[in-house]
Amino acid sequence: MIFFLETLIGGLLAGTMYSLVAIGFVLIFKASGVFNFAQGAMLLFSALTFVSLQEHGIPFLQSLLLTVVVIVIGAVAIERAVLRPLMNRSQITLFMATLGLSFILEGLAQGLMGAEVRALDLGIEDTPLMLGEVMVSQFDLVAASTAAVLVTVLALLFNKTHIGISLRAVADDTRAALSIGINLNRIWQIVWAVAGCAGLVAGLLWGARQGVQFSLSLVVLKALPVLIIGGFTSIGGAIVGGLIVGAAENLAEVYVGPSIGGGITPWFAYFLALVFLHVRPAGLFGERAIERV
Amino acid sequence: MSSLARPAVAPEALLAVHDIEVIYDDAILAVAGVSLNVNKGAIVALLGANGAGKSTTLKAISGLVTADRARVSRGSIHFLGKDTAGVAPNQLARQGIVHVLEGRHVFSQLTVEENLRSGGFLRRLGRRELERDLERIYAWFPRLKTKRKTQAGLTSGGEQQMLAIGRALMTRPTLVLLDEPSMGLAPIIVEEIFEIVADLNRRESVSFLVAEQNINVALRHAHQGYVLDTGRIVLSGTAQELLQHGGLHEYYLGGKAGEAVPATRAE
């Protein structure tokens, strides 16, 4: 029983790492209907920026702030140079634009800051912790708390501030938002900046775990099943989707893995996502349009 | 609410649309040669059948044509004496033109109150001012107050129309472009909405340009009217003149399309 609990809790906590990545996608998808393929590249770019600043001897907090500044500038530049000229184009056009953007960002990041693997130390010890009789990873606990804080901050932003209500208004009905004077370009800049910051948080945690390098941009591929399961339009969905994927992966590896030769972690999430596509294509928390009949 | 009874002083042009042509996707001509005027403090009806170009004309005025991949390819639009060509819709909203879209377009996932608040954002109001403006809207539409915490998508059609108008009023507009407010609503609700529009016009001197298929109700509350047919103005005059004009209904059946009709102008 204790072993089962450990496997489950370990999986759930690891899942929040996926959620962190997925949140960035949800933000941009909600506000502009674009599946931002460049989210992984943004994650790599921001983590690399942070590590490079640290290597130059800049203290933690200053490095973090400077990285956020770089992200905001980047978001404004992306909106101006990529999104605005393509406004009102089809979704596939915008998707292809973000695909191109991801390669540019990855190339730029590695060209400017180097392609070698960099160690990132956030000062979190990865020693196991005993909660009662259950062993938990301390690092995972920190990651989960970070996700919780991030979600709380975003929830407050979305529900209590003018910017948040404007964001939701744009997500709901772009034309109506325009008609009452909401500045769409400004909203997009803010959303990309916020998504970039969410990417930074995810990038730092993933970077601390597996080193900051090119492969960091590939964690987005793990966010896809999370989004399919949780729904593309819900931050809560991203969290729950991440938890489900994390727990399912861990449990499947331990209990199903041995009977089919093991090594099912890399693909089990996608299998789960396929099942969800059949049963619940909008995801668990995907917004279905409210319509009066 | 101050009751500003506007005397019939020399009418000033609030909006002057001159001979505009609107093309969608660089290929489809939706409006060809529409000219119209809205004077300060007036309610002007823009009448016509489905597809006559009413919505496109309104979108050209509010700048929202650009969001539909269309553009004004000829002619000019002046609001308060200034040419609006190339001005973004959110800037026009700031200058005082607000567009209530056909089919309401409330933010269905937001609550009624959040919808209203969103209309006040462009003026960057302080908390207290925003509350005061909300109460002002609730005074006009008491029904909205009882539903303030309800998700807008779950309210009735009439309530959504009131909400869309209320949200637009939160921008404190000079000119409201109201597209087909009667669509899909019971006659009694339509009447109620037009009464409120006329009242708003009288007491707060907000001007309205109302696109409608429902000729009768529109002309009973409007001062002036224009009739659109296949992208052209075919008739114009005071509401009284248009009501008495026998052939008005013909345009809805397409009977007189193409025929030369003397446009009576009374300004």
Nearest Cα to B208, choosing from B238, B165, B243? B165
Contact A175 B109 (CB under 8 A): no
Mean pLDDT by 10 residues, chain B (267 residues): 42 88 92 94 94 94 92 94 93 95 94 96 89 96 96 95 97 96 94 96 95 93 94 92 78 50 42
Q: Which B residues 27-66 touch A at CB under 8 Å?
A: 62, 64, 66
Query: What pLDDT was estimated at residue A98?
Result: 94
Q: For chain B, give me the number of helices (H) and strands (E)?
A: 10, 10
Q: Report yes or no on B117 lying in a domain.
A: yes
Query: What pLDDT was estimated at residue B96?
Result: 95
Q: From residue A66, give the alpha-carbon distance in Å to each of A44, A53, A54, A72.
A: 16, 8, 11, 10
CA nearest to A87 within chain B? B67
How many CB atoms are closer than 10 A to CB A95?
A: 15
CA A163, CA A175: separation in Å to the nearest integer?
A: 17
What's the alpha-carbon Rg for chain A, to the nearest Å?
19
Of B101, B110, B154, the CB nearest to A179: B101
Q: Which B residues 117-146 touch A at CB under 8 Å?
A: 117-119, 121-122
We report the CATH number of the domain holding residue B213 as 3.40.50.300
Query: What pLDDT was estimated at residue A217?
Result: 85
The total number of structural domains in chain B stands at 1
Check CB contact of A172 with chain B, cutoff 8 Å: yes
Nearest Cα to A143, choosing from A15, A9, A234? A15
Q: What is the DSSP letter of A262?
A: S
Query: What pLDDT was estimated at residue B11?
Result: 52
Q: Report yes or no on B3 lying in a domain.
A: no
Nearest Cα to B75, choosing from B139, B147, B16, B144? B16
- What H or E segment, with its residue span, contains residue A148? helix A138-160
CA A246, CA A226: separation in Å to the nearest integer?
A: 9
Q: Is B167 exposed, middle or buried (0-12, 13-18, 19+ CB in 10 A)?
A: buried
Interface pTM, i.e. ipTM: 0.86
Length of chain A: 293
Q: Report yes or no on B28 lying in a domain.
A: no
Nearest Cα to B225, choosing from B193, B178, B266? B266
Angle at A251 between CA A249 and CA A255, to 5 degrees: 125
Q: Which pLDDT tens digit goes with each residue over A267-276?
A: 899 999 999 9
Angle at A23 between CA A288 and CA A135, to 5 degrees: 115
CA A285, CA A224: separation in Å to the nearest integer?
A: 15
The parts of chain A modelled with pLDDT lower than 70 are 287-293
CA B39, CA B41: separation in Å to the nearest integer?
A: 6
Q: Report yes or no on B155 lying in a domain.
A: yes
Q: Give the bridge partners for B97, in sequence order.
A: B175
